[in-house]
Amino acid sequence: MSRLDEAIEMFREDFKPAKPFKSISEQGLNCLPEEWQAFFREVGIASRKDGFIWTVDPSDYTWLLELFDLDMTPVARNSFADFYMIDKTGTLYSFLPQYRQMDRASSNAILSIAALGTKSTTDDPETLKRHKIEMKAGHRTAYDTCYCLRPIIPLGGSEEESELYVGDVKAYLELIAQATS
């Protein structure tokens, strides 16, 4: 088994994806490094079993790059619209739009694929706790929706106390981009 196959298997074991939502588009595949193309051909677009993390088709989120002036490629996001992006080498970064904060999450493409499935990489305990509360209450997000904070953090909201509602990812991030520019 190759290192890439091992990384994809590690991702699957940790992520436990629900059935693939859909396959990634050719346009989405073409903007990815070779390792990530192989990953997405195997995994597709899917949510983690608990619905907290989604893998995404980069071509569905090209607007994000312009909105926040990013030179990265989105590959996943959580239910609160925090994204996981890769650089041209395939290295994984977390991007928190409300703070315009980008942090390196791994050191190369193969380790990044395995890391994306690892809860220690993707799960902030407080955010995951709020996700579980909302899921239990029947408030579920989908591929193009997220939990939105009201008020948003840049306008005085807080992750702990802002009201939550399910809204459109793009509209929510447009509001955050305007407030943080």
Asked if 175 contacts 149 with a C-beta cutoff of 8 angstroms, the reply is: no
Q: Express each pLDDT in 37-85 by its tens digit.
A: 999 999 999 999 899 999 999 999 999 999 999 999 999 999 999 999 9
What per-residue confidence (pLDDT) applies to 159?
86
CATH 3.90.70 fits 3-122, yes or no: no
Considering the chain, what is the average pLDDT of its residues? 94
CA distance 157 to 58: 29
Asked if 12 contacts 43 with a C-beta cutoff of 8 angstroms, the reply is: yes
Give the count of beta carbons closer than 10 Å to the beta carbon of residue 114.
23
- Residues with Cβ < 8 Å from 39, sequence gap 6 or more? 4, 7, 8, 11, 113
What per-residue confidence (pLDDT) applies to 31?
93
Given a cut of 70, whether residue 20 has pLDDT beyond it is no
The domain segmentation of the chain, as residue ranges, is 3-122, 125-180
How much is the average pLDDT of 89-100? 97
Given a cut of 80, whether residue 121 has pLDDT beyond it is yes
Lowest mean pLDDT, pick from 15-19, 113-117, 125-129, 155-159: 15-19
Q: Between 3-15 and 34-43, two packed helices, what is the crossing angle to 10 degrees? A: 40
Residue that has been written with the tokens 């997405």 in this structure: 40
User: Among residues of the chain, what percentage have pLDDT more than 70?
Assistant: 99
User: Among residues of the chain, what percentage have pLDDT more than 90?
Assistant: 92
Closest CA to 118 of 7, 32, 19: 7
Dihedral sign of CA atoms 25, 26, 32, 37 in order: positive
Tell me the whole-structure pTM to 2 decimals: 0.94
